[in-house]
Amino acid sequence: MSSNDIALSVNNLGKCYQIYDTPRDRLKQFVAPRLQRLMGQTPKQYFREFWALKDLTFEVQKGETVGIVGRNGSGKSTLLQMICGTLNPSGGSIQANGRIAALLELGSGFNPEFTGRENVYMYGSVLGLSREEIDQRFDAIAAFADIGDFIEQPVKTYSSGMVVRLAFAMIAHVDAEIMVIDEALAVGDAVFTQKCMRFLRKFKEAGTLIFVSHDMGSVLNLCQRAVWLHHGQLRQLGESKEIAEAYLQYTLQEVYGQEARLQALDAAKAGLAADGAPKPMSSRDADEASMVDYGACMRVNENLSEANGWKTGAGEIVSVRLEHLTPQPNDVFRGGETVRMVITAKVHQDMDRPILGFLVRDRLGQDLFGENTLPFTDLNPRPVAAGATLSSEYVFRLPMLPNGQYAVMASLADGDLHTNVQHHWLHDALIINVSSSKVRWGLVGVRFEKIELKEIS
């Protein structure tokens, strides 16, 4: 890959802060080492080092969308500030090829005493726009922000949502080649967030996007790859679905602590090739995924032996089936019919409130629909002893799905809605291969009873 194809190059990046226990130590650090050098002594250090980022290296291609994930304090915001040039690194380098526009901490870059209009002109000049260019774009910026007369009021009078509206409207109209978005979008209302997401999807067609969020659904929806930061270091870099699954296991383990140890399933059985890349579809899967020009056709393949995920050893799922309510001459599902999902599990230790459930996800790992047994067990608690076998059944109308591959996640847990431990989690227990020429829009198709166009005189 040539350097012209790289939008952002991060090489051995590090940021170190000096932590002083008392103000006196800060004064000592300013004076004492100089005197010690003059006296031929080894300078003494009066601070502790804290590395917010250390030895971080990765590249982002032009036109790529990369998510940055990690717990609070992992170095995400520090990285973004150094990418934008508002923070200098302690070591390493960052090279960006193109104009960068950023939406970082709430209100970052705005003067609270200035009006919205004044901040637009000030922020625009910081991003490299001339006054004439801002004049030409001001009406579009104001319309996108949609804060009405507040554009003429000081920013200190704005709500947090209004600040985000104005900030995003600015970065959306500066012709940036690299856009950096922190978690500020979580503050906006649903209507404005949808407007921002539509803009970001359009921006992805030609620009490079660096996106930070705790919402893994947004990361899966927008990003091809993801960077997982942990204590200031690169923990994992890969496809967004792979990172999302690994990060989910990690965060659950942090919640459970010593109560349960989540053991990752063998990668050889996890739908991964030896090099860690997803296994390719079989020729049968590929042929079925390419079928078009006839009604919805779904074929379900059992994938339990190769499903990745984790388990604690307290129990395990032994069977996941999707079946017709009445016998059919073949195993094809059309969508719209009533079907039954059956999950069977073996319990290895006593459980007070066992839960079985499933989720159907698209190829990006986005949750489409699913259910679990909580609605039943909340009314009818069913403690079980070690050695018991559990079976759960879910009868529902199967939706119509667009062409592609879908995975069924299945899980066995113990607890209630608010406090539970996931003892066995399988990401790809079933694979659904869909061929359909009828579902053209959206993530899930709906069977319409009537579509009509008529003229009313």
Instruction: Name the band, by pLDDT with cuts 50, 70 and 90, for residue 272.
Output: very low
What tens digit of pLDDT does each residue of 194-209 get? Answer: 778 788 888 888 899 9
384, 446 Cβ separation under 8 angstroms: no
Residue 348: the pLDDT is 96
In the block, residue with structure tokens 């539509």: 198
Q: Name 308's Cβ contacts closer than 8 Å, sequence gap at least 6.
A: 245, 264, 265, 267, 269, 270, 271, 272, 426, 427, 428
Distance in angstroms (rounded) separating the CA atoms of residues 373 and 119: 53
**Sheet with 315-324, side-by-side order of all strands:** 315-324, 338-347, 389-397
Instruction: Name the band, by pLDDT with cuts 50, 70 and 90, for residue 188.
Output: low
Instruction: Name the band, by pLDDT with cuts 50, 70 and 90, for residue 285.
Output: very low
Q: Three-class SS string for 321-353? A: EEEECCCCCCCEECCCCEEEEEEEEEECCCECC
What tens digit of pLDDT does each residue of 287-330 get? Answer: 433 333 335 688 888 888 888 899 999 999 999 999 988 877 67
What tens digit of pLDDT does each residue of 232-268 get? Answer: 999 999 999 899 889 988 988 888 887 788 887 764 4
Distance in angstroms (rounded) separating the CA atoms of residues 163 and 178: 21
Number of C-beta neighbours around residue 375 at 10 A: 10
**Domain boundary assignment for the chain:** 3-245, 262-435
Tokens linked to 14:
């590090």
DSSP secondary structure of 112-134: TTSBHHHHHHHHHHHTT--HHHH
Residue 367: the pLDDT is 87
Mean pLDDT of 67-82: 91
Instruction: Name the band, by pLDDT with cuts 50, 70 and 90, for residue 157.
Output: very high
Number of C-beta neighbours around residue 33 at 10 A: 16
Length of the chain: 457
Instruction: Name the band, by pLDDT with cuts 50, 70 and 90, for residue 105.
Output: low
Residue 346: the pLDDT is 96
132, 63 Cβ separation under 8 angstroms: no
Q: In the 8-state DSSP scheme, what is residue 374? A: H
pTM of the model: 0.73
Distance in angstroms (rounded) separating the CA atoms of residues 195 and 237: 29
- Look up the CATH architecture of domain 3-245: 3-Layer(aba) Sandwich (3.40)
Residue 156 has pLDDT above 70, yes or no: yes
Least confident of 24-38, 122-136, 180-194, 304-318: 180-194
Distance in angstroms (rounded) separating the CA atoms of residues 307 and 313: 16
Q: Is the domain covering 262-435 a CATH 2.40.30.20 domain?
A: no
Least confident of 64-78, 89-103, 178-192, 282-296: 282-296
pLDDT, averaged across the chain: 84
Least confident of 52-56, 102-106, 150-154: 102-106
Residue 64: the pLDDT is 93
Least confident of 8-22, 132-146, 283-297, 436-450: 283-297
Residue 273: the pLDDT is 43
Q: What percentage of the chain reaches a pLDDT higher than 90?
A: 38
Q: Name 379's Cβ contacts closer than 8 Å, sequence gap at least 6.
A: none
